[in-house]
Structure 1
Amino acid sequence: MVETVRTESSPAPPTAARDLADVMSTELRLTPDQTARVRSVLNGTLKESNTAKEKLPAQSPQLMAELKRINISSQKELRTVIGPEKFKLLQTRGVQQKIAANMQQKQ
């Protein structure tokens, strides 16, 4: 068995967006349409962030700025897809912890 150590500048695995969308769907009780749209947003976010991590030096200010830009854009899209109430719920510490715990189990 090989263990890998992921850092902030490591590319995310291709299944990360799918898994996160599934966990978010369960926690936020999203409709199938919302789940599909969230998966699409997260896939785009994953591709953009992995591309940035390939092109820019690890831990560089340029990479951090690009990841921040991507994150802000993704959050705006997610808010539109799931609505302001569920987005606000997504931002709460309790839901964030549940999502993180579920994602940890999937790794």
Structure 2
Amino acid sequence: MRTPDSPTPPTAARDLADVMTTELKLTPDQTLRVRTILNGTVAQANAAKEKFPSQSPQLMAELKRINIESQKELRVVLGPAKFKQLQVNQRKMAAEMQQRQK
């Protein structure tokens, strides 16, 4: 069972990109770029989880920084309309991701 401080599986970026592609009707180029962003986000988050103690303020701050940067990159790739759609559908996509990981 995964805990919040467990490393994120590398397949999570691919799976989330697939869910986003379906939900947001991304172009092949957008899908590729989103997958690249998410792969980088997973790698950075896992590196932070190795570097800082679990649940430490340093880890939480680093994960927040990584997430903010990822969101900025996604906003550029998706454009305003699809990024807004992403924000609206995040819970639905998270639920689908949890189903895929079972």
1:98 positional shift: 2.1
TM-score (norm 2): 0.95
1:104 positional shift: 1.6
Structure 1 unaligned spans of 5+: none
> Percent same amino acid among aligned pairs?
73
Letter of the 2:98 partner, please give it.
Answer: Q
Q: Which residue of 1 is the match for residue 91 of structure 2?
A: 97
C-alpha distance in structure 2 between counterparts of 1:84 and 1:78, whole Å: 10
**Equivalent of 2:49, from 46, 53, 57?**
53
TM-score (norm 1): 0.91
1:83 aligned to 2:42? no
1:8 aligned to 2:1? no
Structure 2 unaligned spans of 5+: none
The secondary structure found in structure 2 opposite 1:9 is coil
Letter of the 1:106 partner, please give it.
Answer: R
Structure number with higher helix proportion: 2
C-alpha distance in structure 2 between counterparts of 1:37 and 1:81, whole Å: 7
**Equivalent of 1:72, from 68, 74, 77?**
68
Q: Deviations over 1:16-43 (max 9, x none)?
A: 0000000001000000100000000000
Any residues of structure 2 matched to 1:20-35 within 5 Å, and which? Answer: 20-35=16-31
Alignment coverage as a number of residue pairs: 101
1:100 positional shift: 1.6
C-alpha distance in structure 2 between counterparts of 1:77 and 1:69, whole Å: 13
